[in-house]
Structure 1
Amino acid sequence: MVGMRDVARRAGVSLSTVSLAVNGTGYVADETRERIEAAMAELDYVPNDLARSLSQGRTNLVGVTIPTIAHPFFAQLTAAIQGRLHKAGLRVMLCSTADQDRGEAEYIDMLRRHTMDGIIIGSHTSRPPAYWQSIGRPIVAFDRYLGDGIPSVCSDHETGGHLAAQRFIDTGVRHVVEIGGPRSQFHDLAATAGTAADTTFPTVRYHRTFERDLAEAGIRCDYITVEHVSDLDLFEQTAEEAFRRFPDADAIIAPDLAAAHCVRLAIARGRRIPDDLQIIAYDGTPVTALAGRRITTVRQDIDAIADRLASAMTAAMGERRSGPDGDTAGLVPVALVPGETTR
């Protein structure tokens, strides 16, 4: 195996000079650098990036945990995060927790052993804040609260809930079916507003705000659960359940994939959209196109989320010894994008 010593002998320079040229850690004259590069090409020498990174005290590797890459939202978000971190000179190691029983634990172990520089937690976790705070390494949370001092990035779900509810209120609906994830994961449904626990799982703010606004307007709302976001068949099954259990409902709000199935099922049943049934999708990914028509959506800005996550991670990595303050956390605006579900 060709090493730096071989390159040094071929170029007629010292080993330390080759190291300076390869690692970019010091001045090397242009003529000397050209000889070194020529020797590397002749010997087909490939620098060991991992060894170089470790010698500099970092791996330039960031872990990202998400529930699953099968889900359109997480697939698109993962691609956006990877692109942003790549621009910052960082590589991504992805963990889909739906496919790995010990995924989160293994990644945290790698973080503790300094074989990765930081981790973005975007998967569900039931570990207490004290666990995350004890790690003492760069951690950034997506759409969840892990503990004081740990940056968190999420969409402004409270505004998202208001936008969706107001659209239904303005158009005079009477009975809404709401499709969403397991409420057992919404740790803060009964929490007192304003406390730390109130932000354990920020997506709950969308559901809570939406339901409260409808209740104040005297509009009935029934909830149907998608038990596992990694099983895409469940989105179609819950859409079918909505029509079976609540045939009189005149409005549905659901994640993109379930909303697209609802449009398809409504048309098959002769329901006119939006005259007989209104549908709003929450997320705004391209998967809504599967409905065959434009759907009104509450759109999360995935590019902005990825930007904030990458910025928070690079900031946390720069402060790894003392730990981030948490002020890099932020809300990303959401927007109501009108489709054909309004009167």
Structure 2
Amino acid sequence: MVGMRDVAKKAGVSLSTVSLVVNGAGCVSDDMRERVAEAMRALNYVPNELARNLYHDRTNTVGVIVPTIRHPFFATLAAGLQRELSERGLRTMLCSTADSGTGEAEYVDMLRRHMMDGIVMAAHTEHAPDYWTSIGRPIVGFDCYLGEGIPSVGSDHEQGGRLIADLLIHNGSRHVAMVGGPCRQFHDLAQTPTGEVRQTESPGNTTFPTVRYYLTLERELQRAGIRCEYIEAGEVADFQGCATAMRELFDRFTDVDAVVSSDIGAACCVQEVFRRGMRVPQDVQVVAYDGTYLTDMAGLRLTAVCQDFDALAGTAVARMMDAIEGRPVDSAGDVIPVSLREADTTRR
């Protein structure tokens, strides 16, 4: 196997000169650099990437942790992150906690041992902030607060809640059901006897920021005198749980005239409404929250609050590069606006 010593001998230079050229470091004249490059070509020398990365204390690999890649939101997000990382010469190592069953501990351990340059944490975590801050390596939280000094990126979920509220109030809704994940996920929130969730502490630092759209929507609907319910569905990877929740919802509340849920929940709702011989939106308004490709594939084009995946992925990767390269971190976090896309009712 050809090594750097062989290249140095062929080029007539020192081993340290070859090392500087290979690693792109130090001051080497153009003539010397060309001699080394010519020797490498003549010998078909391939630099040892592992050794080069160790020289720079870089692996050029970033871990992305999501709950499951089966979910259209996280599949779309992961694709965007991989594209943005690739454009910066970085590889993506994907961890799906629900699908692998190992959780994030394995990846955190790899980060501690410098086997990757950083982690984008996009899965729900129950670890306390001091767990994440003690790692001391580049981490970016996506839609989660991980601790002081750790950058975070997410959508403006309070804006999303207001957009939905304005729409439903304008359309004359009287009884709205919000269908989402188990309330126990909101471990820094208190649950009332009726199942509603209330912020109890750290109003800016909830570990599950998407709950803000439920809270905002609930508040605005109650101000308008509109009845609302929060219905628990299964975990994020439990698609059947969404279908079951929708069936039980309409069995329990026959007067519900609007349902708000994730793209998957909204798609399940449309199917349940059709199964019962009702119409969307004439009998039941259905609003999806995420705006992935699934909102065009539910049997009709759904009204949706759309998260800006390009901006979310681009901002998360920009913050990761800041962390890797030691630039100052904005502790306030990045909040990306959402938009409301109403369905074309003329096609129904």
User: How far off its partner does 1:324 sit?
Assistant: 3.5
Q: Does 1:25 align with 2:25?
A: yes
Tell me the equivalent position of 2:106.
106
SS at 1:137 equivalent: coil
**Cα distance between partner residues in 2 of 1:124 and 1:39:** 51
How well do the aligned residues superpose, as a CA RMSD in angstroms? 2.5
**Are the equivalent residues in 2 in contact too, given 1:68–1:96 (CA < 8 A)?**
yes
Mark the runs of 5 or more structure 2 residues left unpaired by the alignment: 191-197
**Are the equivalent residues in 2 in contact too, given 1:296–1:341 (CA < 8 A)?**
no
Q: Does 1:337 align with 2:341?
A: yes
User: How far off its partner does 1:110 sit?
Assistant: 1.8
SS at 1:291 equivalent: coil
**Cα distance between partner residues in 1 of 2:298 and 2:203:** 39
**Cα distance between partner residues in 2 of 1:77 and 1:41:** 40
**Are the equivalent residues in 2 in contact too, given 1:117–1:138 (CA < 8 A)?**
yes
User: How far off its partner does 1:97 sit?
Assistant: 0.9
**Cα distance between partner residues in 1 of 2:241 and 2:199:** 32
Tell me the equivalent position of 2:281.
274
**Cα distance between partner residues in 2 of 1:138 and 1:129:** 15
One-letter code aligned to 2:224: A
Tell me the equivalent position of 1:128.
128
Tell me the equivalent position of 1:292.
299
TM-score (norm 1): 0.89
**Cα distance between partner residues in 2 of 1:34 and 1:192:** 63
User: How far off its partner does 1:179 sit?
Assistant: 1.3
TM-score (norm 2): 0.88
**Are the equivalent residues in 1 in contact too, given 2:179–2:231 (CA < 8 A)?**
yes
**Are the equivalent residues in 2 in contact too, given 1:188–1:198 (CA < 8 A)?**
no
Tell me the equivalent position of 1:172.
172
Q: Does 1:221 align with 2:219?
A: no
User: How far off its partner does 1:59 sit?
Assistant: 1.9
Identity %: 56
Tell me the equivalent position of 2:241.
234
Mark the runs of 5 or more structure 1 residues left unpaired by the alignment: none
User: How far off its partner does 1:263 sit?
Assistant: 1.9
Change (3 A) 1:341 1:189: farther
One-letter code aligned to 2:331: G
**Are the equivalent residues in 2 in contact too, given 1:70–1:232 (CA < 8 A)?**
no
Tell me the equivalent position of 1:58.
58
Q: Does 1:189 align with 2:189?
A: yes
Tell me the equivalent position of 1:251.
258
User: How far off its partner does 1:31 sit?
Assistant: 5.8
**Are the equivalent residues in 2 in contact too, given 1:58–1:116 (CA < 8 A)?**
yes
User: How far off its partner does 1:130 sit?
Assistant: 1.8
User: How far off its partner does 1:35 sit?
Assistant: 5.1
Tell me the equivalent position of 1:142.
142
Q: Does 1:201 align with 2:173?
A: no
Instruction: Decide which moves more: 123-132 or 267-276.
Output: 267-276
Deviations 1:218-239 (A, max 9, x none): 2222222232212333333333
**Are the equivalent residues in 1 in contact too, given 2:126–2:187 (CA < 8 A)?**
no
Q: How many residues align?
A: 340
**Cα distance between partner residues in 2 of 1:38 and 1:230:** 54
User: How far off its partner does 1:168 sit?
Assistant: 0.9
User: How far off its partner does 1:86 sit?
Assistant: 2.0
**Are the equivalent residues in 1 in contact too, given 2:260–2:286 (CA < 8 A)?**
yes
Tell me the equivalent position of 2:45.
45
Tell me the equivalent position of 2:218.
211
Tell me the equivalent position of 2:195.
none
SS at 1:119 equivalent: strand
